[in-house]
Structure 1
């Protein structure tokens, strides 16, 4: 890294990164938890922009997506991980391995649980996994806006879990922002003094192409639900920018002809609905007009094939 002005900026590639003061804190925070506890919704809320897709369908997150929050006091890099679950195919094994790798490669672990239900076997399994790590853990109870009127049993079950492992706890709602400021303060407390890892205005380290693909996949999950659950992978084939519009061509990969039929729909109506909804989201991402063209391709058993997984961007993280 070549110094330009030791008091203000240092130059890395084509971006300017501020020099941190001695009191500045920074670090990586792994968001860990069961599927569908609101990890992606939380990261979007914390960084203030939609970078991770959300869906009522469990196990939505596939890649380790980094969200970046920079405040005057600290830079927090959130690593959103797939929900830890029992894998049923090669893709599932890759996702769970990546989540476990994240546990050992961050500075703080935020263990997110569903605060509307009492601690269960899945939570205890993850707690046991986290207890083997030397990384500090904070237990976060999400969805407090949806809690029943009597929360004593729920709260006590997580209080007991936290006491066994000597973890601090915090309650919040990723949807309403309740408790989020307190969560941020607690996370910053656990960080060490350190440098800026990214420019202050960056909210993710993922390229726009990746986010575009995720936004398309989100609409498929929302519009088809259980009919075409997780056997979908998006490949962005072309992004062509002009002063007036951005042209995006993408391929939706599925495993069976029947899934292709569902995605296209009668007379192409489903594919048109997916494309229209995804285009709106991509336009928000790039703040400009988008022409989106979608294709559907059958790739049998791609989730079971290491080669297919690698081609579609799913690899075990180093």
Structure 2
């Protein structure tokens, strides 16, 4: 039986995602509900090393559920990757009498927590916050739904211009290692083609698909490209290749970039963050550690941090099939 949890630290790490503030709010208010102290850690693991802590009470997190980004800031810490850095972090936690941590972030965040728990037996619970939706053990990560809606809204606007000028647009979205945003946003926005890291469409098939679209009477097309797609070295090279081989198309490129991370979180992300944040506190109070909370079939579940990091979240093959049918 571990020692009684009296004070919980909460931090955000890695890339920011809409809904992180809602998760912070949920952790703080769950702590207040269960009469446990809560401490915010600024700038992720770097803040742990520097002892950059702030006491958080229920009223400290008023009016943040609607805010994008993270009030606790986020940073990547090379120093935490060293034993010396982790030793400093542990000393600061002990000095601040913090008994456990809630880690809001992605696989890099969870890897750090896993190593820290292994070295110091320090209780950690992970909450998946990343727009990429690439974490094993949950159907949805915090921020993914908002990012999808942002991308679809932007593509809708781009289509207006594409239709007006009979242009082919390549729209690059985030997803260096996973095509969840590209696939779902592409289907939702009616893209003619969707290029993702998990499926190698190939240049010949892409050209044939665009020719078929032209023959069917389409005067403009949208191709959604995940940044990790391997067909070309980058989206600009891909666009140049298509323009050289299909001169009937006037090709343009739009890279959406970091706008996908920002903005007020959707209702879905706010509710998801609230559910996962509350459960993370309850797990720590129940003596659990080294777990990630997630949502599967609308139920809150837990997964070992190691499985969350090393597991593979499969792309939806049915959605790929639907995408092919819709592009006719």
TM-score (norm 2): 0.28
**Structure with the largest fraction of helix:** 2
Which structure carries more relative contact order (alpha carbon 8 Å, separation 6+)? 2
TM-score (norm 1): 0.29
**Structure with the largest fraction of strand:** 1
Q: Compare CA radii of gyration and give the structure with the larger one.
A: 2
